[in-house]
Structure 1
């Protein structure tokens, strides 16, 4: 009998809530007046949607024999639907889209000019700017006139800004769309002199992509090619919401926040899980079979809650498994290639990420020729299969962001995926599959008992990316104080049902893991400033919704970041292979 290997790709799609949900003032009679503007502070949701979420779907549509798991975080889907509504109404709450739609860019304000110059060069310049001479020329002009002299932006014409905002959106289009949509080829060939009509046509094309995105993924799931999974609603670090002390299971000396615990964390975790399962069922017709916990962060207590909710599988990082086995006195070099079960979480199967292979895709293969990278990955899988015992079918989990790596690849990874998926589809011993399909098999793979689970995440097997640093801990203390205020006001009974719902929605946004990810001196200053400001604005709005005066410390930045740091949206776990 020929030995086979089961390969599960889990592409994780996530962006935090980038909307400024608005100021809250005092209305007539002293009652709180809530006005949610919903203005988008950063454009990453729709930019990644038109480039990466579209491309990742198209790769699978071209290779119908490939199976994979795609994880959509509900707060991301909320924003994609928000953008679809904006395109339907023609009223844009994203300033960059407003600029693309503005008929006369000669008459825009100085603030809008600054916005375009600050935004429209944010990309990987090697793959998304340098290949386009006319776009690069716009950048050269910017560096010449503006970088050295801030006043000079006023001399740039409306024609310059029209070309700039057009090229930025063209650079963020997916490679599959460039090959499918004649409009994109025409505009890119034109190169310059874009007018309002050109921009309107591009805007309409983007709208079609955004509007059709969720139905497109729904169709892939309906035909059985993709398993759609979820994450608790706003991507919270659930193990820490339950207990700060679990951070010390992997790092015993980790400094913790002054607050002893996050108030009412258990009820918040249950609410976040429940909201995700409900919203997933509304969008895709059924609750998810499994979940990728935010950041792959798990603890025994959290896993029990997932099992109780009806979740049948979860995945986490290989570092978590290594720490857990070490704590149990177990040494097994092939441990990551089999499913596991925890006695305290009956009915739930645990899978673990192959860190080395996932990091090869995330960080190294972008520098390789696509065919060479694809063949190398297949060879690595064959080696894992050859090392397995005769009666063992390895399950290899490759798990990483479905959006952030591809801008480092030529052509957004088009050739890498084309070669990889083609090789895998034809391979006689490697089967791409999904976790749901594995569990539905008869007989299904036997899960190995895991004596204990050491709390941690996919990053280094610890929780240090979100707690233990002075700025991160300060962020947690601010959230804990806000939650205490929240509990007091809700217990008072002075808010009506609509006000309570608004408070709970805002609280969930504040609980996102992303704010704590970006605090730290190893992250770039500009990115830290954006997330720091938005986090504090979210907490401020929470206090306003509670009809309380926000504490003064919310006016002071939490963290400055580093002027020399680069990247920040991805973390390497393994040593570089390049």
Structure 2
């Protein structure tokens, strides 16, 4: 067996849920994932100090975590759901707030985050029973019901590490019902402590050398499409494109968001990031040029992108067995400088994202390790396979019992003591001169980690209409910026709002294959962001922005916050 270098890259991201005009958070996912997933992922690494990993934090997520930390420090809560938790008398809340609680507090995987808690399940059953007679019957639910519902929702969203260390959480889960205002305030304090401690915890892991922190262009734009819509046709030749042939000034927008990410990372963690996980692992040759110009040492993408690139680089030649091309770094011919490209193992990454949640934790961990051992056994003498397992570090655990605690604990424990599988980071891998193993890639075919294409973000009617609305707004932005009508502070606010409009997340959720409630939320957020941009530009808001773009249609494997790679 040849030694295997394993890089686990956990990608942490949420789009900007803030309304810049009011400062309000429109959705609660940042702080909920903070108390569950970001805290648990740090705790697993802290418990296994010989385990190395790459953690990718998108700057706009860090911006929001810091915003929440400021809210807790000041006591001025700008998240409506958190604010409800802290209201002294829930008998007196508005109808809007009551409906917000009912709409929000059952949003989770019921199998793992409700069924294990009979008191929480009973609250759900009561709600569903009354709703059968019409939403008006929900007025019979008291302030005490709301208190118990809000507490249980937040308890269900606490991570396993928080539950095992917080006496308050243990006491409340044991109490089960009849939560007082004092109980709710104690829980709010726990949430605040976890959120405020997150960035310092990850900074400490960086300082110890245990993890490498990488970054993404600041607001998570689908960079190759901003640069050139037609890049979608490199992997899907017949892909339908927006009316506008090119996003106005797209290349400079990508460069600007990358520079902003590098600067914010350096300010938070004391050094510039050495690598980039582009939003959605989406790469193209022009993007690699920008990364090279800005001094990035490495980037990563999906296995499908590598396969497409090899087919286009060597037309007419059959693609070799994946073990012969996947487990090595690449340098792309052209102007990309010294950027080294790594490509994720789709099968292993998807096993963690979609399959192992159904297994016993120890069995899943051992299966993953055996799969890595097989890669080492199939390597030729003298080969040094580097295996990239890259996936969402926040959404998968909702589907695991105990938030993936036993799977991750057992996996890290086995890997810490394995004689032939060595966890590492891309920075350490490159520093050890393993980059000399990099193969030459004549052509890079533009694509993402999902299917190796951009079809999740462009190509259908709704997604293309969203791009058209964004392009029109960008034209207006350019004209106003060139006119000199805005003050420096107004220009800064408009630029930040435009960057938020450029996030890939809005395009991800549009489409009739996504659940209607999610499509409605993200469609509205995208259009609100565009409307705010026009207001900041001191222009009338076009009527087209008031009309929904997409309605959604259902829930199946191609919908939701996660996708299989193929």
3-state SS of 2:437 partner: coil
1:94-105 mapped onto 2 (5 Å cutoff): 94-105=79-90
Q: 2:545 matched to which residue of 1?
A: 554
Within the candidate set 292, 295, 298, 1:313 is matched to 298
Q: Is the 8 A contact 1:318 1:461 kept in 2?
A: yes
Is structure 2 residue 388 aligned with structure 1 residue 397?
yes
- Give 1:563 shift: 4.1
Counterpart Cα distance in 2 of 1:210 and 1:527? 25
What are the Cα deviations for residues 95-152 of structure 1, in whole angstroms up to 9, with x where unaligned?
A: 1100111111111111111110000010000000000000000000000112441001
Counterpart Cα distance in 2 of 1:192 and 1:252? 58
Within the candidate set 181, 189, 199, 1:214 is matched to 199
Q: 1:32 matched to which residue of 2?
A: none
- Give 1:443 shift: 5.5
Counterpart Cα distance in 1 of 2:519 and 2:555? 12
Counterpart Cα distance in 1 of 2:17 and 2:170? 31
- Give 1:342 shift: 1.0
What are the Cα deviations for residues 242-274 of structure 1, in whole angstroms up to 9, with x where unaligned?
A: 101110000000000000110011110110110
What are the Cα deviations for residues 57-106 of structure 1, in whole angstroms up to 9, with x where unaligned?
A: 00011111110000000000000001001101111110110011111111
3-state SS of 1:39 partner: coil
Counterpart Cα distance in 2 of 1:203 and 1:126? 25
Q: 1:363 to 1:216 in 2, by over 3 A?
A: same
Within the candidate set 331, 336, 340, 1:341 is matched to 331
Q: 2:271 matched to which residue of 1?
A: 286
Q: Is the 8 A contact 2:216 2:258 kept in 1?
A: yes
Q: 1:4 matched to which residue of 2?
A: 3
1:26-45 mapped onto 2 (5 Å cutoff): 37-45=22-30
Q: 2:185 matched to which residue of 1?
A: 200
1:97-246 mapped onto 2 (5 Å cutoff): 97-246=82-231
Counterpart Cα distance in 1 of 2:213 and 2:433? 22
Within the candidate set 358, 361, 376, 1:370 is matched to 361
1:293-308 mapped onto 2 (5 Å cutoff): 293-308=278-293
Q: 2:423 matched to which residue of 1?
A: 432
1:514-525 mapped onto 2 (5 Å cutoff): 514-525=505-516
Counterpart Cα distance in 2 of 1:451 and 1:173? 47
3-state SS of 1:9 partner: strand
Counterpart Cα distance in 2 of 1:376 and 1:195? 46
Counterpart Cα distance in 1 of 2:477 and 2:347? 43
3-state SS of 1:228 partner: strand
Counterpart Cα distance in 2 of 1:148 and 1:520? 32
Q: TM-score, normalised by structure 2?
A: 0.98
Q: 1:310 to 1:492 in 2, by over 3 A?
A: same
- Structure 2 portions without partners, runs of 5+: none
- Give 1:442 shift: 3.9
Q: Is the 8 A contact 2:329 2:435 kept in 1?
A: no
What are the Cα deviations for residues 209-229 of structure 1, in whole angstroms up to 9, with x where unaligned?
A: 000000000000100000000
Q: Is the 8 A contact 1:290 1:311 kept in 2?
A: yes
What are the Cα deviations for residues 316-365 of structure 1, in whole angstroms up to 9, with x where unaligned?
A: 00000000001112633221100000122121100000000000000000
Q: Is the 8 A contact 1:45 1:80 kept in 2?
A: yes
Within the candidate set 425, 433, 450, 1:459 is matched to 450
Instruction: Kindly report the root-mean-square deviation, in angstroms, between the aligned alpha carbons of the 2 structures.
Output: 1.0
Counterpart Cα distance in 2 of 1:443 and 1:469? 42
Is structure 2 residue 375 aligned with structure 1 residue 388?
no
What are the Cα deviations for residues 434-490 of structure 1, in whole angstroms up to 9, with x where unaligned?
A: 000001114544210101000000000001100001000000000000000011111
Q: Is the 8 A contact 1:438 1:445 kept in 2?
A: no
Counterpart Cα distance in 1 of 2:434 and 2:395? 37
3-state SS of 1:88 partner: helix
Counterpart Cα distance in 2 of 1:21 and 1:243? 28
Q: Is the 8 A contact 2:301 2:344 kept in 1?
A: yes
Within the candidate set 547, 557, 569, 2:561 is matched to 569
Q: Is the 8 A contact 1:114 1:153 kept in 2?
A: no
Aligned length: 559
Q: 2:257 matched to which residue of 1?
A: 272
Counterpart Cα distance in 1 of 2:121 and 2:434? 57
3-state SS of 2:54 partner: strand
Q: 1:564 to 1:233 in 2, by over 3 A?
A: closer
Q: 1:378 to 1:565 in 2, by over 3 A?
A: closer
- Give 1:16 shift: 0.1
Q: TM-score, normalised by structure 1?
A: 0.96
Counterpart Cα distance in 1 of 2:555 and 2:237? 30
Counterpart Cα distance in 2 of 1:216 and 1:416? 22
Within the candidate set 441, 447, 450, 2:438 is matched to 447
Counterpart Cα distance in 2 of 1:46 and 1:90? 15
What are the Cα deviations for residues 352-385 of structure 1, in whole angstroms up to 9, with x where unaligned?
A: 0000000000000000000000000000001111
- Give 1:7 shift: 0.2
